[in-house]
Structure 1
Amino acid sequence: MKQRWLRRVVDAVFAGALAAVAVVEIWVPLDSAFGSGSPTLSTVVAVILCLALAVRRSWPLATALVVLLTWPIVFSIQPILLLFWGQLVPMAVATYSVARYGSWRAGLIGAGAGAACLLFFDTQVMEMQEPGEIFFHWMVLILAWTIGQVVRKAERRAAESHRRATEIEVQARTVTLTAIAEERARIARELHDIVAHSVSMMVVQAGAAEQVADDDPEYTRRALATIRTTGADALAEMRRLVSMLREQDGAGELHPQPGIDGLSALVEDARSGGLTVGLRVEGEPRMLPTGLDLAAYRIVQEALTNVRRHAAAERADVLVRFADESLHLEVRDDGVGAATATATASAGGHGLIGMRERAALYGGRLETISGSGSGFLVRAVLPLEPAAS
């Protein structure tokens, strides 16, 4: 809005300044004013033509018609002076403006009006019939119209490119947000299974403890301890579950989810597909919360899936390292490197997004390191409770 107001002010100032120059051209007079006619009438017409340029952006066709046709109409009734600043310059500006700011149809109409104006002078005004004069004023208007058309097309191409870039950016963001929403829904369903399984275990343990509470107090205490641990884990998972925004859907069949212990089978499955896979575990393995255990498994699973689908690799190495306060996961391959992530995105996969979401859910982080043709590394760090001394 501010720019539009500023353009209007600039056009008004330009029109006023040109009108002032035209008045000076008539009354001084300058060498650019020639012919015979009433200076007063010439001044009125020149001022009308110049001031019409103040609205050349808002009404380009109307401005062009006023500027290009007023002078021939008045001249056919009563001869007036021929001016450079008060006549030819406004005509050139109006022709340029209708070609740039008007529609294609308006531009053609403006070109026709300009041609009619020049033909009138070429046939009716003796002073304008010299070959050099004809060439000059025709070239001025043709160049003005051509430049206006070129600028108009360039601006439209730029606007179209900007629109397309915006659409691509919006589409890419929509795809990413959709992928995140789908992955969170998937994680939520899995956490639902974990919580439901944990609650089922608590019910079974509580029932068993109730049956032997009097006969076997030691078993009852162990059962209660198990219930307490399982309940704490289930509560932690439930908190994560309700913190995620997702659409409600069916929970599906309840069953225990895989964890770190299932990595050996996962590696064997990858080997059966022709990929050489090595698995190394460092540190002292320990029991992990069920949800974290599942997240670690899924991260390695997705990383190996990406290797098989996109990396064109012959070998992948999986490292699981138990530190005092964190679990480190690394999957490294000897494939095409930087092309892996690009191929994953172009194939419609959301693996990297899913892995990052899982790591972030447990307060961890995931990073990818890619070399040009020298392999691809997925590294995740998941926080753990400090190991018991």
Structure 2
Amino acid sequence: MPSWKVEEWRRPGPTAKQRRTDLWVGVSVAAVAVFSLFLLRSAGYLDNERSPVVGEQIFWAVLTTLPLAWRRRAPELVAALISVGFILGQVRFSPEQVVTTYALCAAIYTLGAWGQDRQRARNLRLLIIAVMFGWLTVSYALYHDAVSANLSGSSGELPELWSAIFLGYLQNIVYFAFTYLMGDAAWHAVWRRHQLQRQAEELRAAQAAAAGRAVLDERVRIARELHDVVAHHVSVMGIQASACRRALEKDPAKAAPALIAIEQGARTAVDELHRMLGALRSSEAETDTAPGAGIDRVEEIVERAREAGLEVHFGTYGDPVALPESLSQAAYRIVQESVTNTLKHSGAGTLDLRIRYLADELELDIADDGHGGTGAGRNGMGLIGMRERVAVHNGTLEHGRRGGRGFRVRARLPYQKARTTA
């Protein structure tokens, strides 16, 4: 969503309910203004030889109030009409000011709160206020005698006429400043509410995206675990089945060890699947404590590779240290995937597996004498899984053809030795 600046944002127009409300308000205020006009006439406040006929007086009262029915749909036009009607009503000596004063206030306020073009709304309000003060000045200049006649004397320290004039200016300053600032405050309040709604929508979108990424990450993790768990055992079983088939053709008695290895591999694969699915179904706390394959079980991989017909040279170098469970499990899976690739794709006869405990990192070195391919290519699921596991632990991974014949995988996983106390 766009991030609007304050001056660029356009407030949405009034709703249908708001337009209906404005219509009723405009008609009601106009009716009250006409009623107030008759009260003023009856009380003698408009008893002046220069006052127009009652029909014209009603016209100016309605012109200064009825446009409020469209105040939120056309705030600029309404403010201009009411301002003109307010001044012309006084010029024509039909000053119904009990209601029309509040109508003018509402028009200026609405222009500040609903004006779409902020610069134009600001300029028009300032223009209206300037015209009003100009008219006030002209009125004092033309009718200062009438103002003086209405003063009943005072005991103050300042001259009566000038005190009355400055008081009129002060009242109008407070009146117009309050109206102007309240309109701006209403517009900014709506803008802030819009910003909060926009931010809430962005937050919901971000949460939905995060949830989608979490689902995708979980699917990738499950796919990787299934690949690591199933592919290795099924590959070994396939090789054993092939050996068993050949043995049945030549010497059936020699097929028994291969069948036993297939049976054991199948059971191990099922056990691994049960363990993994159980971890997925369990709660987070239970999953964290669930036992898993670690570096201490690498010899099982070695034995299965030997049963599959590989000549395996396995060695552990350095002083073994206690590894974090996640790092130990990652090391196991890297070795498992490397051996699986050797069995499935390389056509190798010999496998060299070395585990080195260096000063501050664990090194896994797996090499074979096959034809140097992985079968799945550089971006196969197995190599991707290895890279992800190594990256999680800030390690490094090297893989590729060896100088002579074969394929090599070397991973280095940093670790911190546990501190011992005397």
Q: TM-score range by the shorter chain?
A: 0.5 to 0.7
Change (3 A) 1:92 1:178: same
Are residue 97 (structure 1) and residue 110 (structure 2) matched? yes
Deviates more, 1:123-132 or 1:34-43: 123-132
1:52 aligned partner? 67
Higher mean C-alpha deviation, range 169-178 or range 147-156: 169-178
Query: The residue matched to 1:113 in structure 2 has which SS?
Result: helix
Instruction: Give distance in 2, aligned partners of 1:350 and 1:137.
Output: 70
Aligned to 1:61, which of 76, 86, 101? 76
Gaps of 5+ in 1: 241-257, 280-293, 302-348, 352-389
Structure 1 residue identity aligned to 2:230: V
CA distance in 1, matches of 2:104, 2:245: 102
The change in CA–CA distance for 1:73 and 1:27 in structure 2 (over 3 A counts) is closer
Task: Return closer, same or farther for 1:62/1:16 CA change in 2, 3 Å cut-off.
Answer: same
Spell out, residue by residue over 1:77-107, the C-alpha distance to the aligned partner (whole angstroms, 9 max, x if none): xx14111244211111101111121143213
> 3-state DSSP class of the match of 2:127?
helix
Q: CA deviation at 1:176?
A: 5.1
**How is 1:1-389 mapped onto 2 (pairs within 5 angstroms)?**
4-29=15-40, 34=46, 36-73=51-88, 76=91, 79-102=92-115, 103-105=117-119, 106-124=121-139, 126=143, 130-131=164-165, 132-171=167-206, 173-175=208-210, 177-213=212-248, 214-216=252-254, 218-219=256-257, 221-223=259-261, 225-226=263-264, 228-229=266-267, 259-262=292-295, 297=329
Distance in 2, Cα, partners of 1:350 & 1:21: 76
Q: Which amino acid aligns with 2:176?
A: L
Count how many residue pairs are aligned between Structure 1 and Structure 2. Answer: 263
Contact persistence 1:99–1:145 (CA under 8 A): yes
Deviations 1:351-380 (A, max 9, x none): 9xxxxxxxxxxxxxxxxxxxxxxxxxxxxx
Q: Deviations over 1:27-53 (max 9, x none)?
A: 233669646333211212221321211
Q: What is the percent sequence identity of the aligned residues?
A: 21
Q: CA RMSD in A?
A: 4.5
SS at match of 1:215: helix
Cα offset, 1:229, TM superposition: 3.5
Write the distance in 2 (CA, Å) between the matches of 1:136 and 1:188. Answer: 77
- 1:33/1:112 CA distance change after superposition, 3 Å: farther
CA distance in 1, matches of 2:131, 2:328: 80
User: Which residue is 1:318 aligned to?
Assistant: none
TM-score by length of 2: 0.51
Letter in 1 for 2:60: V
Aligned AA (1:160): Q
Contact 2:61 2:89 in 1 (8 A): no
CA positional deviation for 1:61:
1.2
- The one-letter amino acid of 2:253's match is D
CA contact (8 A) 2:89 2:95 kept: no
Unaligned runs of 5+ in 2: 1-11, 148-163, 279-290, 299-317, 334-390, 394-422
Shift in alpha-carbon separation, 1:68–1:32, aligned structure 2, 3 A: farther
Larger radius of gyration: 2
1:223, CA displacement in angstroms? 4.5
